[in-house]
Chain A
């Protein structure tokens, strides 16, 4: 199902409690607070483990998320913009994480740069509604996707290291 290291990562991301989506007014604010608390802890864990790999923020309604993720390969840092919407049916359905700049560069994507998730993701998510949140989607979805796809895309020469990334 899930490999040992992902399992360990998952177990350290705080679970969520409130089952509410963006159409549930007050409850959604509650859920959003839990999302942020969980994400803050997850990012903190990553930093502590010297494995900091993404930053996210949202609009004030918490319905649109954007940020950056990065991946190290041969000691070079490759950085990508991440974005996704919170669907009206969240948290029953997971957010569809997208890396728009890679759209059209790999077959492991749906239109708009939405990453293609493994067969295991959806069942695991469904079994853990409403406990899983955005942090879990990142850990279970985007993390493994980057680990498999980015080295492959680099090897194929589809993506190149951009030196100036660090200066911006």
Chain B
């Protein structure tokens, strides 16, 4: 057992360590009222505001007016949120229902000591420390369920800095269901969004810009996949669901935020679809037109609204006109043009393919499967009871 003296010694030791630790945490940066372009060591925005001086962006400080929702704060979403925070975005909304786990440590951003915390809370803490000027709101729930979806859409439509709809929604989720939920919400409330994704084998990814009615929505066609040129037979899935690399995720997050900045601050060209094949460093680009027969009624409605609007001419020409964006083309990089639309079969850029075809040949074996007869004289309650009593 320790003596009283030993314990007192221990207390002074610990008090010293504590005060040291507290001192280390002191230099938190204070909020900054307006972005300055003054080039001094203490100005966190000087290099960003230099974009103005260099003529890349006309209005960089406008970034503070924008609200961006990041849905999914995992390998791509967390890095996306950090980039936007460092860029000084006005408000960030973070959605995720997951917790930080040690299994996430092959990715960027989260740290081992955050294990067990909700991803949104852990992220908000780090981000507020990096840049206290950014207003960060967190939502810790699954957006695909009935009880949360309405709240999700309400937040998206009322949470900008002026209580209006958010300026952009960024999908950084890892599953089809959540992508579809975002698509449904954005079509319904006419919200512009970017879809992003990394393949389950970790060696390809993509981003897609979706402006309801103007570009193809997520329901207009089956998802595109970037051909990885891996023989399906050699791709082993035994014992695992998904692989992931911090590299691929970081690259996709970079593409996503780069295009977000271009979209919000109106410089350069925003890619409609940008793919990434990590194995041979191939980046297919293409445009995707909305499908007039899209399954989502709201997508069709948005298409009609767009068709009724007078067309902004210059915006369309940018892609058609192959004028020299760069005078020289040392590496022979070319824009892969969208091929002409054919009946039923929409062709896609080289290196891309649809995940599956629609409408498919109906399964022959299912032809004689009977439909569940809906005789309205049976009530739902009766059916529920019947199911229970089997």
Which residues of B from 228 to 253 have beta carbons under 8 Å from A?
237, 239-241
Cα separation A43 to B388 with both chains bound (whole Å): 11
B177 interface residue per 8 A CB criterion: yes
Q: Are A89 and B383 neighbours in the complex by a CB distance under 8 Å?
A: no
- In which size bucket is the chain B interface? 35 or more
Q: Are B387 and A56 neighbours in the complex by a CB distance under 8 Å?
A: yes
Cα separation A119 to B355 with both chains bound (whole Å): 10
Q: Are B372 and A38 neighbours in the complex by a CB distance under 8 Å?
A: yes
Q: Shortest Cβ distance from A37 into chain B, in angstroms?
A: 4
Q: Report the count of interface residues on A (CB-CB < 8 A).
A: 61
Binding site of B, secondary structure by majority: helix, strand, loop or mixed?
Answer: loop
Cα separation A104 to B230 with both chains bound (whole Å): 29
Chain A residues within 8 Å of B219, by CB: 92
- Partner among A17, A47, A85 whose Cβ is within 8 Å of the Cβ of B146: A85
Cα separation A37 to B373 with both chains bound (whole Å): 8
Q: Are A36 and B384 neighbours in the complex by a CB distance under 8 Å?
A: yes
A-B contact count (CB 8 A): 144
A12 interface residue per 8 A CB criterion: yes
- Partner among B147, B177, B363, B370 whose Cβ is within 8 Å of the Cβ of A96: B177
Chain A residues within 8 Å of B362, by CB: 127-128
Q: Are A34 and B370 neighbours in the complex by a CB distance under 8 Å?
A: no
Q: Are A34 and B374 neighbours in the complex by a CB distance under 8 Å?
A: yes
- Partner among B149, B177, B358, B373 whose Cβ is within 8 Å of the Cβ of A127: B358
Q: Are B370 and A87 neighbours in the complex by a CB distance under 8 Å?
A: no
CB nearest to A118 among chain B residues = B237
Which residues of B from 105 to 136 have beta carbons under 8 Å from A?
none
B181 interface residue per 8 A CB criterion: yes
Which residues of A from 114 to 129 have beta carbons under 8 Å from B?
116, 119, 122-124, 126-129
Chain B residues within 8 Å of A10, by CB: 363, 365-366, 369
Q: Are A16 and B365 neighbours in the complex by a CB distance under 8 Å?
A: no
Q: Are B380 and A33 neighbours in the complex by a CB distance under 8 Å?
A: yes
B175 interface residue per 8 A CB criterion: yes
A–B complex contacts, Cβ < 8 Å, 20 sampled:
A8-B365, A15-B370, A16-B372, A17-B371, A22-B146, A23-B146, A39-B387, A40-B383, A40-B386, A41-B372, A43-B387, A58-B384, A85-B145, A88-B144, A88-B146, A89-B183, A107-B241, A108-B240, A108-B241, A111-B98
Could you list 6 further interchain pairs (A-B, Cβ under 8 angstroms) beyond the known A10-B366, A32-B380, A89-B144?
A33-B380, A33-B383, A37-B372, A123-B222, A127-B358, A127-B363
